[in-house]
Structure 1
Amino acid sequence: MPADRSTCSQPAPTEPGATSRRTFLAGLAGAATVLSGCGGSNSDSPSDNIASPSQPTGPDPGPDIDPPVEPPEPPAPFPPRGVHASIEESSLTSRSITWFTDTSHAPAQLLEYDQEPLLEGQQNTPVFLHQRHASSEATFGVDAQTHRFKIDGLDPDKPVRYRVGSPSGGWSPVYQLTPINTQNWSFVHYGDQGVSVRAQRVTEEILKQPRDLAIIAGDLSYADGDQSVWDTWFDLVEPLLANTITMAAAGNHESKDGDGLQSGKAFKSRLTHPDPLLNNLNPNPGSTYYGFDIGRVHFFVSSAGALIDDFTLAEELINLEIDLAKAALRRARGELDFIILIQHYPIWTDQDGRSPANLTLVALQENILLRYGVDLLLVGHDHIYQRSVPMGFGIPSLLGYVQVLTGTGGQSVRLFDDNGIQRWSASEFVGIGFSRFEVEPGRIKGYFYGAAPQGLGDDVRQTVTDPFALHDEFEVEQRNWLACQNCAVPARPASELLQDFPALVAHTRERNRRAMEHHSHG
């Protein structure tokens, strides 16, 4: 259950359309003035300090004087916000830090860091060994700036302690990124979060779990074109994202932040990801398709056509094919244990209104997943939890992939259809929650933690007050040697991949339209 909050505490996050960060900070400043009187003594009238004739006589001690009240410290004029960590290159020796400041007038931003451990009582120690100037650019859609700095040459066995900001504009809290033990490490996965109280509960529960990486499978803020909602979302998740490497996929709601070639511009300009292998049409810091390694696991993040209006889908398909072919070859050589694909859209689902399958992705991706032996497909979009057995084309197969659909980040709670669970499905849950994975040599253990709603009726389903609990547990084993060898095949040429591209584009646009229509109807 969420902790009780008094009337003097900070207000909980609100739904989309919430106030901007600047208004939020002004509210906090006003709250600080109120708080200065919370629990204090009542003010006295002058007559209360005059001795009455019945009191003992003696030297007049003078009027009682309360100790002076220290005025509240004014808020920093340009506080850093939305701090989040990611990787662009090596997950061992590099970390990228991104953050925002309001208005174009904020002072030049700095990142201060070192690799000394953060000891108890030193959370706000302002002394760091290194200080670097960040790059700055205008933030899409709002009067703000986005700042970035990539830290290279790190000792992979030591934590990174850091803060961002400026002496005149204000500093962030001190954050810490722990080193990753690449033999035994963990990550969390969820999608479809938004800025509701449900979303806040999911973030709070994840913070209780050990994790080295956070994967967000699309539909992060649900800004839907209202750019101030992105600020509210980053405020909500900063305690998680600033202390955890975070990598994200773009979802269909990200597409509403900008039109045409600008589709998904807020996602692309606010996040920081690796560059694709081929990068002619997607020159954005927050790439929407990219690969990265952590230990012996290779990840590829795909947009799956969520931002089709930016005309990068053909290039993305070529990137996807080449990346997975290279990863499959590395696995056959013994350099990798697992290949994981991340995207917003599921391929198979039992959510009401969307089952049994996303036929556009069946035609587009199933043969790619099976050709290169992808082990895990991590998705969102449908606001349910559903995990498959190893499968291909909707049929259980020991040589297939396991799809983990975790669209339970908090935006809303949806239901399963009335047609019964399909044969590939191994576990289902209605509510909010997140998946957590523990990686060890040759094995990935998966867990789903969720909280159920008060009921399944439309009038109570969005109220989730139950405690979080473990609702699913499973394992994915490394493929055997022969299966790995069979998946180590060359990437197909673009002429083969794109031979039916006009039809693929038409089907993808129709899929995206229906996804938005389904959302607008509840």
Structure 2
Amino acid sequence: MEKAWSYVFSSLLIFFFLQFIQLQASSSMYTRPPPRSIIFTPHNRSDSEPQQVHISLVGRDHMRISWITQKHAPSIVEYGKTPGKYDASVTGDHTSYHYFFYLSGKIHQATIGPLDPDTNYYYRCSGTGEEFTLKTPPTTFPIEFVVAGDLGQTEWTESTLAHIGSRNYDVLLLPGDLSYADTQQPLWDTFGRFVEPYASSRPWMVTEGNHEIEVVPIIHSQAFTAYNTRWRMPFEESGSKSNLYYSFDVAGVHVVMLGSYTDFDAGSEQYKWLQSDLAKVDRSVTPWIVVCLHAPWYNTNIAHQGEGENMRKAMEELLYQARVDTVLAGHVHAYERFTRVYNNKAEQCGPVHVTIGDGGNREGLALTFKKPNSPLSLFREASFGHGRLTVYNRTHAHWSWHRNDDTDSTVGDEVWLESLAGSSRCGVSVHSRSDDDEL
């Protein structure tokens, strides 16, 4: 009966929420296509058995394991390097949240480590159920990131995840819009089960999108309730005061996850944190800087025109002065790659901006681009897919976009990138070239 009432009230909430969104977007020229079908992943385990398992990086040699049980269970993770043999264990904690008449399961979190780099570990949550396997990322080059924005839980998403899993990688970056629950809280549960085979084996580092806000005027004023509770990121370790923005280092790459839907002007906590965070980066230790955010600062698609402009005006100078190498965004349900750019002009010391909001969401693709094409935009296509950033050494990385083409993943766009840390023309200290810099 409680679940039935939950669905009824969730349906009412989504109605009010969509009315609110329509009012906010009434000035947009873009008309969103009708929703597409969602894959509802069933709950087929016992209520005490762990589900929705996912992992994230914490510091240089720890990982946070997150999972949910429907009934009370110990917040313990047992782990080791041999299947079925656990020589270490950690006890974490658990929490839950209410969203009107919806009550989440017990959301457990435990941080394991220190862990050896580039190593397979086997682990079990709550002392029962399935054994999972994770692989820690390396501490030296090369390292490969997968990037998938606006993911959702549809057949398109299923194809994207299958293509992602068909090749090895080290860390997944998700620049916003995860479950597309849009206040229907049971969809957070189906999403957690949907991505578990992938998110339990490699660290998923995420930031929020507009679909994580889940504010209903008057009825529910607290934003990001489900997102912040279910997908806790290592914000405190990076000096941030909010789970909506943070940074982390992995194998010579400094990754900054920014929040498009929290304050970002020059007087905001996020701005001051970003300024401090970038100032601490030692490019001799971490020669690459990658930034992820949701609403793109550069966009030639009709969809979501100008929605990232205020954030660009507020923060672009910080990224430019820090010589950020690339900015990866979502929100627009298509793929687009720009030249190095700063202040709406081609600039050899600016970052390469990429929009990759084409993971497989239920809303469909943003099919229409502005004409004529801007000279800043080098490649654009409305197709589902994912990206891969392989950082080979201190100076060179390879970016590729993989289009979802039936059962096969097809490379639709690719480019070699040179780190601005090794560029004397951009005023960043130049390191001495050594053998590990050879391609």
TM-score band, normalised by shorter chain: 0.7 to 0.9
User: 1:273: how far off?
Assistant: 1.3
Name the SS for the 2:280 alignment partner.
helix
Paired letter, 1:397: E
Match of 2:296 in 1: 346
TM-score (norm 1): 0.69
Match of 1:299 in 2: 255
User: 1:445: how far off?
Assistant: 0.4
User: 1:257: how far off?
Assistant: 5.4
User: 1:278: how far off?
Assistant: 4.7
User: Residues 323-338 of structure 1: matches in 2 within 5 Å?
Assistant: 323-327=277-281, 330-331=282-283, 334-338=284-288
Contact 1:372–1:487 under 8 Å retained in 2: no
Gaps of 5+ in 1: 1-13, 29-74, 117-124, 453-464, 489-522
User: 1:302: how far off?
Assistant: 0.6
Match of 2:202 in 1: 244
Deviates more, 1:353-362 or 1:136-145: 353-362
Distance 1:291 1:358, change over 3 A: closer
Please point out which of 409, 413, 430 is paired with 1:468. Answer: 409
- The C-alpha deviation readout for 1:273-316, integer Å capped at 9, x for no partner, is 11245555x3xxxx111111011110111102x1459x998111
Paired letter, 1:228: P
CA distance in 2 between counterparts of 1:115 and 1:204 reads 26
Please point out which of 317, 321, 346 is paired with 1:371. Answer: 321
Match of 2:57 in 1: 87
Match of 2:112 in 1: 151
Say whether 1:110 aligns with 2:85: no
CA distance in 2 between counterparts of 1:418 and 1:77 reads 50
User: Residues 464-503 of structure 1: matches in 2 within 5 Å?
Assistant: 465=406, 467-479=408-420, 480-483=422-425, 485=427
User: 1:157: how far off?
Assistant: 4.9
Contact 1:87–1:272 under 8 Å retained in 2: no
Please point out which of 390, 393, 406 is paired with 1:438. Answer: 390
Contact 2:303–2:332 under 8 Å retained in 1: no
- The C-alpha deviation readout for 1:113-152, integer Å capped at 9, x for no partner, is 0124xxxxxxxx5332123333111145333111111112
- The C-alpha deviation readout for 1:362-394, integer Å capped at 9, x for no partner, is 311222221211111011000000011111122
CA distance in 1 between counterparts of 2:252 and 2:157 reads 31
User: Residues 274-423 of structure 1: matches in 2 within 5 Å?
Assistant: 274-276=234-236, 277-279=238-240, 282=242, 287-304=243-260, 306-308=261-263, 314-327=268-281, 330-331=282-283, 334-355=284-305, 358-411=308-361, 412-423=364-375
CA distance in 1 between counterparts of 2:266 and 2:58 reads 20
CA distance in 1 between counterparts of 2:235 and 2:312 reads 27
Please point out which of 69, 73, 76 is paired with 2:46. Answer: 76
Contact 2:215–2:221 under 8 Å retained in 1: no
User: 1:481: how far off?
Assistant: 4.8
Say whether 1:129 aligns with 2:87: yes
CA distance in 2 between counterparts of 1:385 and 1:110 reads 41
Match of 2:231 in 1: 271
Name the SS for the 1:253 alignment partner.
helix
Contact 1:94–1:151 under 8 Å retained in 2: yes
Name the SS for the 2:66 alignment partner.
strand
Where relative contact order (Cα < 8 A, 6+ residues apart) is larger, the structure is 2
Identity %: 24
Distance 1:419 1:199, change over 3 A: same
User: 1:243: how far off?
Assistant: 0.6
Contact 2:159–2:404 under 8 Å retained in 1: no
Say whether 1:262 aligns with 2:222: yes
CA distance in 2 between counterparts of 1:191 and 1:387 reads 14
User: 1:154: how far off?
Assistant: 1.9
Paired letter, 1:323: D
- The C-alpha deviation readout for 1:84-128, integer Å capped at 9, x for no partner, is 1101221xx2111111112xx322232110124xxxxxxxx5332
CA distance in 1 between counterparts of 2:88 and 2:256 reads 32
User: 1:487: how far off?
Assistant: 8.9
Contact 1:81–1:172 under 8 Å retained in 2: no
CA distance in 2 between counterparts of 1:312 and 1:138 reads 34
Match of 2:185 in 1: 227
User: 1:413: how far off?
Assistant: 1.2
Contact 1:139–1:270 under 8 Å retained in 2: no
Say whether 1:218 aligns with 2:201: no
Gaps of 5+ in 2: 1-35, 431-439
Name the SS for the 1:132 alignment partner.
strand
Paired letter, 1:413: L
CA distance in 1 between counterparts of 2:313 and 2:106 reads 41
Match of 2:6 in 1: none
Say whether 1:206 aligns with 2:206: no
Name the SS for the 1:215 alignment partner.
strand
Name the SS for the 1:238 alignment partner.
helix
- The C-alpha deviation readout for 1:430-467, integer Å capped at 9, x for no partner, is 11100001111111100100126xxxxxxxxxxxx474
**Count of residue correspondences:** 385
- The C-alpha deviation readout for 1:140-185, integer Å capped at 9, x for no partner, is 5333111111112222253222121334xxx133222244252111
CA distance in 2 between counterparts of 1:312 and 1:97 reads 35
User: 1:354: how far off?
Assistant: 3.3
Contact 1:109–1:165 under 8 Å retained in 2: yes
Contact 1:384–1:408 under 8 Å retained in 2: yes
Match of 2:126 in 1: 165
User: 1:241: how far off?
Assistant: 0.7
CA distance in 2 between counterparts of 1:354 and 1:403 reads 16
Distance 1:383 1:157, change over 3 A: closer
Contact 2:266–2:272 under 8 Å retained in 1: no
User: 1:225: how far off?
Assistant: 0.9
Contact 2:140–2:251 under 8 Å retained in 1: yes
Give the structure with the larger strand fraction: 2
TM-score (norm 2): 0.81
Distance 1:392 1:484, change over 3 A: closer
